[in-house]
Structure 1
């Protein structure tokens, strides 16, 4: 009878090894439950209150894991929906681009080419005729050779009588009465210098010969001139 007992013991050992292997590959939730159950089994002297706390902790852990998985699942679902929407938008954009390209190609092909302008012989004859008439009508006088060789200053500059007299005065002998003198004239009232010089020019007096004008007193004007002024 000893051999059958040994066979039974070997089978029992094999079954125990298989159960340990299956327990090792169970999911996390089942592992937590087995850990809680094993701890309760190994401690038969614990009270029912500690067992209740262990069960509550196990349930809480399971709930937290489920919440994490649920949040991650919702995140994946939102990303998937966003990806689908982006794909739809991309397809619409590509379709619109193709429509615009086809419309542009149609518009370019429908534009007629610009007609080439070819001048006719009649228009050229008329233009030549009018050009000849205009050339005959407009005649620009050409300056003579003598005028072309004259300096520019000699053609434009004219000498005034006063300048001629001033140039001749340098060749006259020096007068014995050379100097300056004031001429006092009666005046009704004071006037600005510009108005006074304008009145003197009207009287045929050269304003450049009058060096200074001032009013020494009321109703009197003094003119500073050269003594040899004539």
Structure 2
């Protein structure tokens, strides 16, 4: 079923075609998550190996340090033979006093010096975020995707960096995705939308108010070239549906839940796909969604 081609559905009833298209989207979503889980399992195995190696190294260093600090009858005859702190054979040609001073100097160099932690002054953005946390809800509620053009293929870090250069508070950007060739979609809260648009307009960045993420023309992948207009519309809806679900995976629970309701009200996801605190906690606990985003990126407020 996962390999079912939409092009083979011609001639089937519309309801069956819609059902198979939805089923295919769900299977693709499960396959993507399975691949993600396998990559995370491999990464976990690698990190576990590195952790075991680090623990072994620490144990060896502690053992060496303990042996260096142990009392000896002829402590003045002990000297270090290498910078790592290994104990070598005593040099009988040196005077005891000189050997003792050499031991002290080398031992002091080998011990790590921990710099005192300096308190950092919180930035204005962090202070504003903390104030919003304790403020009573006021003003309009809801979310809005703002669409702007792009002249070339961009990475999400490049988008964030460029927007910060234009004076945009990147912590207020909830999702960044690429719904069509030459278009960037940015999700913001409606209370920040006007400010965000004003900064874009001031910087002479065009806002694509007429852009529709469900437009069949957005599907530019050559593998869909043989599809009919109706099938392209279903494919565009399926791709946008997946983008929405992916965005929810990277938002903090207190943001993901209301954003999920917004997506549902727009008709982009179903009501049973709105996340709950239980599902979000389980997902975070399993580290399933802690990967780096490949097609979309989100940042919590």
Query: TM-score scaled by structure 1?
Result: 0.30
Higher helix share: 1
The higher radius of gyration belongs to 1
